[in-house]
Structure 1
Amino acid sequence: MPDDARPAHRHPRAVTLVALGGALGAVARFGVAEALPHAYGDVAWATFVVNIAGAFVLGCLLEALTRSGPDTGARRSVRLVLGTGFCGAFTTYSTFAHDIVTLDRGFGVGVGWAALHVTCGLVAAAFGAVAGAAATSRRRA
């Protein structure tokens, strides 16, 4: 992918990498949804699991890539495939928002579930960043 003045979405290779990662992430999310089905109005554990796992993976990946050097070459390709593509398709804000609105447990429970979901996502991303930093430090040693 040449480093010219064009934005990343104008590079066919970058778009292809994101699409490839996105296809894999969508299939993985479907697999989790099949493994953890929920009835309409119940807590959607599949959505929770994919969003928390995705936050962890993204935190780990971005920290490791940032510590490894500039966002060029193979590091950029990995970021596009795994970060933007896979994690972008694996995680789901729209389903999370829909699940909160349709949660059949009352307003307070919905707000509490949303707060827990977001808080756990932030904590998972932080733990992922720590894991990414540790993995990068071990490789350099």
Structure 2
Amino acid sequence: MTRSPHLDPRLVAVVAVGGAVGTAARWSLTQTVGASSSGWPTATFVENLLGSFLLGALLEVLLRRGQESRRSLVIRLGAGTGVLGGFTTFSSLAIEMERLLAGGQATMALVYGVSSVVLGLLACVAGIALGARHHRWRHERLPLPDEAP
């Protein structure tokens, strides 16, 4: 009987290490982008949109490879759940919206929340489209195993 992924300590470790990498990357991007003078949470906004795009692309590429192998499971859990789960920070979005509301910037909080969700969804769809395009490009350039000379 195969152990469920969430009960396999090796896979839990893959997610944990990926999460540490993603969190470190998010911290680095936050330090690089810095705070906006207008109060708009630019770093979190960029992190969430970029993470949504990359997650869409990653999952589309893995899906188009066919049935999930042990290797693709490790990639999905390590890069998707771990790295991109640590990189994106929708909890910070909620905290930043609360801070904007508490600071009397209700309109900015509403625009920030709605645009984060809508643009995050669009970024994910763009990532899916890129992943599908990559798949088509790869199969146009490389012969299939049974077509090899």
TM-score where L is the length of structure 2: 0.86
Q: Which one of 61, 67, 70 corresponds to residue 70 of structure 1?
A: 67
Which residue of 1 is the match for residue 43 of structure 2?
46
Which residue of 2 is the match for residue 123 of structure 1?
122
Q: Deviations over 1:9-61 (max 9, x none)?
A: 11112111111211110110000110122279821111001100000000000
Q: Which one of 58, 62, 72 corresponds to residue 61 of structure 1?
A: 58
Which amino acid letter does the alignment assign opposite residue 107 of structure 1? A
Which residue of 2 is the match for residue 92 of structure 1?
89
| Percent of residue pairs identical | 35
| Cα distance in 1, alignment partners of residues 127 and 36 from structure 2 | 31
Which residue of 1 is the match for residue 77 of structure 2?
80
| Cα distance in 1, alignment partners of residues 54 and 28 from structure 2 | 17
| Cα distance in 1, alignment partners of residues 87 and 20 from structure 2 | 9
How many residue pairs were aligned? Answer: 138
Which amino acid letter does the alignment assign opposite residue 9 of structure 2? P
* Larger displacement relative to structure 2 (116-125 or 65-74): 65-74
Which residue of 1 is the match for residue 9 of structure 2?
12
Over 2 Å off, 4+ runs: none
Q: 1:120 to 1:39 in 2, by over 3 A?
A: closer
Q: 1:117 to 1:15 in 2, by over 3 A?
A: same
Q: CA RMSD in A?
A: 1.7
Which residue of 1 is the match for residue 113 of structure 2?
114
| Cα distance in 1, alignment partners of residues 126 and 104 from structure 2 | 30
Q: Deviations over 1:73-116 (max 9, x none)?
A: 21111101110000000000111100111123521221111111
* Larger displacement relative to structure 2 (61-70 or 107-116): 107-116
Secondary structure of 2:110 counterpart: helix
Contact 1:41 1:99 in 2 (8 A): no
Which residue of 2 is the match for residue 37 of structure 1?
34
Q: 1:40 to 1:11 in 2, by over 3 A?
A: farther
Which residue of 1 is the match for residue 147 of structure 2?
none
The runs of 5 or more residues in structure 2 that have no matched partner are 141-149
The runs of 5 or more residues in structure 1 that have no matched partner are none
